[in-house]
Chain A
Amino acid sequence: MKRVLLSLWLALLLTPLNAKEAVPVAQDPALEARLNRLAKELRCLVCQNESLADSQADLAADLRREIREMMRQGKSDAEITRYLTDRYGDFVLYRPPLKSTTWLLWFGPFLLAGLAIAGFLYFLARRRKSLPDAPLSPEEQARVEALLGQRPEEPRS
């Protein structure tokens, strides 16, 4: 009995340690869901391949705290994003905005694909032109038809 009580007490003692990030969720699930949605679109500055939602970095936790606070103040997602880009630049956005410095990033792949297709079509057109339209000789014709499993027909007149 004593041991059971002791372990229960220990368990109680240990639980808050694991609940660091979980507490706010219980407070306002809707807000946390919104935070999570927004933070998935934002890059953690410290571990740059992680989103702000996933990162365990200290700064990410601080930024989540700031975002949470701004959401409570009724700020829109656009205002919050603006707050972050004012401080960290467009780098925090996983989806960079369309502007003169980023058009190559956005349209470059389409441009490359277009060039590749154009090049391929040009190659095909030239190849077609360079191949002479040679008619098959009668022996070749017979072989083709034998291979195709057809009986040679009488040439139509």
Chain B
Amino acid sequence: MRARFLVPLFIFLVLVGFLWKGLSRDPREVPSPLVGKPAPTFHLPRLDAPEKIFSPSDMRGQVWLLNVWASWCVSCREEHPVLVELAKRRDVPLIGLNYKDQRPAALAWLERFGNPYHLSVSDADGRVGIDYGVYGVPETYVIDRAGIIRMKHIGPVTPEVLDTKILPLVAELSK
């Protein structure tokens, strides 16, 4: 008989649980169906030397990061120092996908804020971006030796994300 009074409490706790889960989710974070699949291939001109073509297959055999950036992107500005720091540590090669940008503007940006990239490629019309499911620049992909996407991070890479998620995964994959 006593247990009957616990029913509203139980319902309340279930509701709190649902709301807690719902409110702590980031609605911008859309799970990518590409994780666990081969990174889409492309052949794009290098930003620094457009006559040279880069393709993800050039990175076969090593773990690498693909970072989608643009000089018009505000959050990229916030992310940039973190990437510059990462580049200094030389833990993992970083390739930039310069998304829907003007080449002079992109080059000026790298000149001004430093260039953390091993190299960048120009995705001027955004087609490769669509292939990678890009929808909120910046985005960062961790790609393993076999060319499989292992992780996607949407939004700026923070030191915390780098230390708790990206670098441990890179270390794990590099074993």
Q: Which residues of A contact B (CB under 8 A)?
A: 45-46, 48, 58-59, 62-63, 66, 85-89, 91
Contacts and interface: CB of A to CB of B under 8 A. Distances in A.
Identify whether the interface residues of B are mostly helix, strand, loop, or mixed: loop
B135 A66 contact: no
B130 A66 contact: yes
Interface in B3-26: none
A63 B32 CA distance: 17
Nearest to A57: B135
B126 interface: yes
Given A59-B135, A63-B130, A88-B135, A45 B33 contact: no
Contact of B34 (A45, A58, A66, A87): A87
A89 B100 contact: no
A88 B139 CA distance: 13
B59 to A, nearest CB: 21
Given A58-B100, A66-B130, A46 B31 contact: no
Interface of B: 27, 30-34, 100, 125-127, 130-136
Nearest to B28: A48
A17 to B, nearest CB: 20
B33 A46 contact: no
Given A58-B100, A66-B130, A87 B33 contact: yes
A87 B30 contact: no
Contacts of A85: 33
Nearest to B126: A62
